[in-house]
Copies of this chain bind each other. A is one copy, B any other.
Amino acid sequence: MARRQKSPVASGDLDARKATILHAVVTEHVDTAQPVGSSAVAATTDLDVSPATVRAEMVALEREGYLAQPHTSAGRVPTDKGYRYFVDHLERGAVGAVQQHQVRDFFAHVRGEMEDVLEQTSKLLSQLTSHTSVVVGAGHSRASILSAQLVNLDAHHHLLVTVFSDGTVTKHSVMDAAGAGAADVAEASRQLNALLIGTTLSSRIQVPSRADDVARLVREAASALHEAAPTIEGEQVYIGGSSRVAESFDGVETVRAVLSILEQELVVVSLIEDILDADVSVAIGSEHGLEPLSACAVIVAPVTLEGETVGALGLLGPTRMRYREVMATAQAVSDELTRHFGGEPGA
């Protein structure tokens, strides 16, 4: 609403009245899920114009691609472009008091490891918004190793347990057909720790080439760790409220398609990362490339730690969504999450 252009042609800005009408159509349609007619717009806005005038404007808005008609004698429905304009010109609202309180309360009481917090957060988000939520914890490719330890499980199996500077812990099985003695395992553990401390997963390390049991164990363990690197570097994904998908769309096929996408973590992560920006951002309908999600809008907010983006949270719902409220919620949770991790690093 702030920036406006003189000439309302092309795709730039719309004149004030068109903007008001578009805004009215969007909000009304979000509320009712029905096409919105000219008289409804004339009644709900404070434009003081007749339905006929509204109609004329709507024809223009349709020509410019902001609105669409399901069929000739129906009201108008916003297009993706219409929603986009709506969102771009939305003044940021504060999150409701009840929700605000719920968010604060949640973060005041939540305890436990980062993983648990992220998972709980995804549940909170879907509960607050009635949409499906996605929380992505960034990978730790740049984290360095704080400790590595080889633990003897039984005669032929050991476990390499690695602790990273970002607080993650990984484990890797190490087979040992020969069955080295406990002393050898302990020695290998010592050497591994010395070898790996301070390195990252992408570091090249110098493994001993000797043929004895200890050296063999060290080599096996180190390779197990580095082989698995691509997997454990990967992001953690927590999805909450997937049952909300069934409420949001009426076509069973749409529901299936969306759920199917949600099952593919890699796709979800790359979707979120595509949309991710320094601020709360939105992808509407076909704006993200995923055809099965063309009926969806995705709202993404970053989670930062010491200025760096370490994760993201996303909310997925129908394009017909209460953008203002949902974006405000995303912003609030993102802020609190950032503060939460900022306050207690590594936890």
Q: Enumerate chain A interface residues (CB-CB to B < 8 A).
A: 112-113, 146-147, 149, 151-154, 157, 159, 161, 163, 165, 167, 169, 171-173, 175, 228, 231, 240-243, 245-247, 250, 252, 255-257, 259-260, 262-263, 344-347
Contacts and interface: CB of A to CB of B under 8 A. Distances in A.
B228 A245 contact: no
Given A163-B159, A243-B263, A346 B154 contact: yes
Contacts of A152: 146
Nearest to A256: B246
A131 to B, nearest CB: 13
10 contacts: A113-B172, A146-B152, A146-B153, A153-B346, A154-B345, A240-B263, A243-B257, A246-B246, A246-B256, A250-B252
Contacts of A169: 159, 161, 169, 171
Nearest to A174: B347
A163 B241 CA distance: 32
A222 B204 CA distance: 36
Given A159-B167, A346-B173, A256 B263 contact: no
A163 B151 contact: yes
Contacts of A113: 171-173
Q: Report copies per complex.
A: 2
Given A113-B173, A173-B347, A243-B263, 14 more contacts: A147-B149, A149-B161, A157-B167, A157-B345, A159-B163, A159-B167, A175-B347, A240-B263, A241-B263, A242-B259, A243-B262, A247-B256, A252-B252, A255-B255
B344 A157 contact: yes
A223 to B, nearest CB: 13
Interface of A is mostly: mixed
A317 to B, nearest CB: 14
A161 B146 CA distance: 12
Contacts of A345: 153-154, 157
Contacts of A149: 147, 149, 161
Nearest to A116: B231
Contacts of A257: 243
A207 to B, nearest CB: 21
B159 A161 contact: no
Nearest to A263: B243
A241 B262 CA distance: 10
Contacts of A146: 151-153
A259 B241 CA distance: 9
B161 A163 contact: yes
Contacts of A246: 246, 252, 255-256, 259
A240 B262 CA distance: 11
Nearest to A260: B243
A263 B242 contact: yes
Contacts of A259: 242-243, 245-246, 259
A38 to B, nearest CB: 32
A134 B182 CA distance: 38
Contact of A255 (B112, B165, B252, B262): B252
Nearest to A245: B259
A169 B152 CA distance: 13
A49 B33 CA distance: 56
